[in-house]
Every structure is written in structure tokens, then in C-alpha cells.
């Protein structure tokens, strides 16, 4: 494929781009309960304007672009104050939660290379609810992820299990505030005490809650301490592009002091070229996300965010109460924030999701793992407020419809087809044949995803990963 020989007109370009977007989810309507954190038109416009104003500035060199140094220092200082740290807390702006987490794990790894040079394969203890980004960091950075089950009732990290997973090679413990899947805050204070007792690094993943939970606390919610007020918490990740509603590409990673953060920084002087000293994973980076984050935070302001939090809290209560009243549905647990997880013991949840999708809603499937059943996830954000009753009415209807749908013939077929297959040696071709049988071919997905989710749900996690990899490897090909 080649680019247009003669440049296209502006008009033609934007027509084409709009066309590309035709089959996307219509998130602007406010019926999308994930991926999108939409503060509404007015705030979005401010973010866009600041983003484009700083589009060309390059964060690679803050000695040349002093404005970006200024913005990053102010954003990190805001994070430090918001998470009740003292003057010594430092941090950096990153492209998202994953990058913040990668950097925190790198800093911990390098810190312990110095402190405990005898450890050759460092270990990180992760409750099963710790975000996938920690597994990714472990994979990228040569750290071993040791996963422990969470409490089967509360879905919070089980401190005793974390304790028993600590070995002579452990360098780090991770807790979530809150966890993505069930939206509950781990017992951070107890985990941090355990970390102190064993002289380990303790990271609080507050990607979801770091910004919002302090507002919930101010509204009288019983939010347990998870921030720098907790002795033993070494680092915290806090996303701005979630509940602070700043344009995507915005997160903070914060450290108790510079002695810890030093290990995050990468300098390279062993090549012929410009001097490299990077805080983040990215080297060249647009000033857009940073300027936009600064602009949106200061435009909405503290009062604005408190008011938004109040509305979300009310919406979450309405939705959670409503789900409990729908015959056939049950909450996995009462959420601590705005993330709701629910399932059904009678109906295939993947059918419910497909039915909701047909009616214009996006609600998220979550596969079963360890002691958490397959379930539906909702991230409730500002633009969802006001849709509670419609959501609940539609859910009730979709549960009724899902009851009448056949229990995944194809899932059964494929599961049957798997009987003779040694899952550990399954080839990409066998996987693609299976996926084709489920309606996935040539980079397109079937309208209903229940079969595919059903198949994935039936497979052990390492095979799921193989299937997903083969699928994506196939999908991203020349159009």
C-alpha cells in the first residue's frame, strides 16, 4: 500500500477518517462502561486545545523545552499532595498506567540489584487481581511474577498468602487501590507493614483510584489509607487519563523520595549522538498529553471533581442496588469505588453482553480466573451518569433473552474438538482453525462474541494467551 501520490484535500482526509470510525462504538452517547473517560464537551475542548498547543514540543529534552519541565514538575507535585506525601515525594509524568508500572518495577529491580546483588532472579508478589501490566513488566524486565489468590469473599489481597509467598528472592509486593476487576481496595497498610518487616519495595497501584478515592473519602466514604501516609509504601501509580478525565497518554508514577526514583532514570552515553537521559520509557514524546492534563486538572478544579465524584457515587449505588434486584444476577462484591463486577449463576454472562451490545451498550467481559468467575465489568464514569435506570432495564431484559439462547453450541463443539489436542503443543494453525470455526477469519470478528469468549473461558490461561497471540498476529496484517 502506498500513500496518496498527490496529497488529498483536507476535506477528503477528514471524510475518510470519519468513515474509518463508522463501526466504532458510539461512546459519545454515554452508554460505554469502559475505555472511555469522557468529561463532556466543554472540558474535552479545553483538553484538545492544550494538547494541540503543545503537540510539537518534545519532552526528550527539558533543557530546551523548559515549559515541559515546568508542567511535569507541577503535575508530579500535584500527585504528591493529592496522595498526602511530604516534600520529599517525587514523580514523573508517563504515557499511562502501564508505563508507570513498568517504571516502578524497573526502579525496584535496579534498587535491589544494588541492595541485594546476590539475587539473580528477583521476585514480585502479586495478588491475582494485580493488573496485567505487572506481568508485562515482569516479562519485559526479567522479574519473576509470583501470583497469590485473593480472598474468595472480598476479592481483596490475602495478606497471609502474600506473606507465605515471600522468599529470599522477593524484592517487591504490589497492592491495588482499587483492583480493576472487582473495584476493591487491598489492605495496603498491612501489606506495607509486611514489606517493611521483610525490607521489600511496596507499590500501590492506584491507577484507577489514586485520583478519585481521595474525593470519595471527602464525601464520607470509608476509604482505607493507601497513599504516602502509609509507612512502607515506596511508590504509587496514578492515572490521570481515567478519573481525572484528561486526554489519553497521561499518568503519574510517584516515589517516597529521590533515593528510590533514581533507579527509574535511564542515562546513556555510550553511543555517538545526543545525550540521553530519560525519566520515562519513551524518549521523544509530545508535550500534548502533559499540557492537556495540566489544563484539564486546572479547568475542572477541585470543586468540579468533588461534584463529579458525588454524582458517580450516587450512580454506582443505584446500579449496584439495581443489579442485586435483577433476578439471575449477583454482584461479586460491593465495590469501593466506581468499578462494578457482577455475574450470573444461571445465565451465560457472555450472552448478556452480546445482547446489551446489540442494544448499543458496551459492558466488558471478564474471563474466569483462579477464584473469580467469568463476569461482567462496568467502569462507571462521568458520561454514564444519568443512564442508570436505562442500563438496569436493559440488563433485566437481556438476562431474560439470554435465558432463551442456546448454550454455546460452538463452544461445546470446539471444547469437544480440543479433547484430543495436547494444549501445551497446540500450533498456531490448529488455533486459527478453531477460531475460524468460531467465526473469526481474515481479521474480522463475528457479531456475537459469546462463542469466542466461551472458548477462551474454557481454556487454561497459557493456552488463552497463545490463542490471543495467534489471533492478533493474524489480524494485524496488510489490509
Ligand X SMILES: *Cc1c(COP(=O)(O)O)cnc(C)c1O
Q: Provide the binding-site residues for ligand X, judged by CB under 6 A.
A: 96-98, 131, 133, 176, 180, 205, 207-208, 239, 251
| CB 186 to ligand X: min, Å | 11
Residue identified by cell 453450541 is 409
| CB 94 to ligand X: min, Å | 9
| CB 204 to ligand X: min, Å | 10
**Grid coordinates belonging to 82:** 493529592
**Nearest residue (CB) to ligand X, 251 versus 341:** 251
Spatial contact of 362 and 33, defined as CB atoms under 8 Å apart: yes
| CB 207 to ligand X: min, Å | 4
Q: What are phi and psi of 414, to 5 degrees?
A: -70, -40
**Nearest residue (CB) to ligand X, 176 versus 366:** 176
**Nearest residue (CB) to ligand X, 149 versus 430:** 149
**Grid coordinates belonging to 132:** 496485567
**Grid coordinates belonging to 105:** 518495577
| CB 100 to ligand X: min, Å | 8
Nearest residue to ligand X, scored by beta-carbon proximity: 97
**Nearest residue (CB) to ligand X, 251 versus 411:** 251
**Nearest residue (CB) to ligand X, 286 versus 348:** 286
**Nearest residue (CB) to ligand X, 133 versus 395:** 133
| CB 149 to ligand X: min, Å | 18
Distance CA 256, CA 85 (A): 7
430: buried, middle or exposed (CB in 10 Å: 19+, 13-18, 0-12)?
middle
Distance CA 213, CA 210 (A): 6
Question: Is the Cα dihedral 98, 101, 103, 105 positive or negative?
Answer: negative
Cα 454 off chain centre by: 23
**Nearest residue (CB) to ligand X, 102 versus 434:** 102
| CB 254 to ligand X: min, Å | 14
Q: CB count, 10 Å around CB of 432?
A: 17
- Buried residues in 350-364 as b, exposed as e (16+ CB within 10 A): bbbbbbbbeeebbbb
Spatial contact of 165 and 125, defined as CB atoms under 8 Å apart: yes
**Nearest residue (CB) to ligand X, 138 versus 398:** 138
| CB 280 to ligand X: min, Å | 13
Spatial contact of 239 and 211, defined as CB atoms under 8 Å apart: yes
Amino acid at each position: 500500500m502506498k500513500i496518496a501520490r498527490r496529497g488529498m484535500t483536507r476535506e477528503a482526509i477528514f471524510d475518510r477518517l470519519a468513515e474509518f470510525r463508522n463501526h466504532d462504538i458510539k461512546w459519545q452517547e454515554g452508554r460505554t462502561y469502559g475505555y472511555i473517560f469522557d468529561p463532556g464537551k466543554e472540558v474535552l475542548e479545553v483538553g484538545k486545545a492544550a494538547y494541540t498547543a503543545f503537540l510539537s514540543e518534545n519532552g526528550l529534552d527539558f533543557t530546551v523545552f523548559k515549559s515541559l519541565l515546568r508542567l511535569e514538575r507541577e503535575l508530579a507535585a500535584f500527585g504528591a499532595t493529592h496522595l498526602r506525601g511530604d516534600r520529599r515525594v517525587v514523580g514523573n509524568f508517563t504515557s499511562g498506567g502501564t508505563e508507570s508500572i513498568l517504571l516502578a518495577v524497573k526502579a525496584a529491580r535496579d534498587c535491589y540489584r544494588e541492595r541485594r546483588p546476590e539475587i539473580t532472579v528477583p521476585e514480585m508478589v502479586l495478588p491475582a487481581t494485580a493488573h496485567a501490566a505487572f506481568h508485562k513488566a515482569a516479562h519485559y524486565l526479567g522479574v519473576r511474577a509470583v501470583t497469590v489468590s485473593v480472598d474468595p469473599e472480598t476479592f481483596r489481597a490475602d495478606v497471609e498468602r502474600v506473606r507465605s509467598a515471600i522468599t529470599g528472592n522477593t524484592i517487591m509486593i504490589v497492592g491495588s487501590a482499587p483492583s480493576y476487576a472487582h473495584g476493591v481496595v487491598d489492605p495496603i497498610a498491612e501489606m506495607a507493614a509486611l514489606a517493611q518487616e521483610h525490607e521489600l519495595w511496596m507499590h500501590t497501584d492506584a491507577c484507577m483510584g489514586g485520583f478519585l478515592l481521595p474525593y470519595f473519602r471527602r464525601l464520607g466514604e470509608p476509604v482505607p489509607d493507601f497513599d504516602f501516609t502509609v509507612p512502607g509504601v515506596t511508590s504509587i501509580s496514578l492515572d490521570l487519563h481515567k478519573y481525572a478525565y484528561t486526554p489519553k497518554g497521561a499518568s503519574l508514577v510517584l516515589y517516597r523520595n529521590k533515593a528510590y526514583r533514581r533507579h527509574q532514570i535511564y542515562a546513556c552515553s555510550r553511543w555517538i549522538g545526543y545525550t540521553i537521559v530519560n525519566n520515562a520509557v519513551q524518549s521523544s514524546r509530545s508535550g500534548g498529553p502533559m499540557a492537556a492534563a495540566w489544563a484539564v486538572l486546572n479547568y475542572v478544579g477541585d470543586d468540579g471533581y468533588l461534584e463529579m465524584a458525588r454524582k458517580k457515587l450516587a450512580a454506582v449505588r443505584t446500579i449496584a442496588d439495581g443489579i442485586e434486584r435483577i433476578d439471575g444476577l449477583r454482584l461479586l462484591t460491593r465495590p469501593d469505588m466506581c468499578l462494578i463486577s457482577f455475574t450470573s449463576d444461571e445465565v451465560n454472562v457472555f450472552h448478556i453482553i452480546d445482547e446489551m451490545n446489540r442494544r448499543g451498550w458496551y459492558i466488558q467481559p471478564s474471563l474466569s480466573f483462579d477464584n473469580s468467575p467469568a463476569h461482567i465489568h462496568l467502569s462507571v464514569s462521568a458520561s454514564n451518569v444519568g443512564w442508570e435506570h436505562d442500563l438496569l432495564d436493559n440488563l433485566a431484559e437481556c438476562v431474560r433473552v439470554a435465558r432463551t439462547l442456546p448454550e454455546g453450541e460452538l463452544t461445546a463443539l470446539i471444547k469437544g474438538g480440543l479433547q484430543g489436542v495436547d494444549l501445551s503443543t497446540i500450533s498456531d494453525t490448529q488455533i486459527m482453525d478453531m477460531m475460524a470455526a468460531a467465526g473469526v477469519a481474515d481479521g474480522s470478528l463475528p457479531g456475537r462474541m459469546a462463542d469466542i469468549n466461551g472458548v477462551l473461558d474454557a481454556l487454561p490461561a497459557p493456552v488463552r494467551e497463545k490463542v490471543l497471540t495467534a489471533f492478533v498476529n493474524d489480524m494485524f496484517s496488510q489490509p
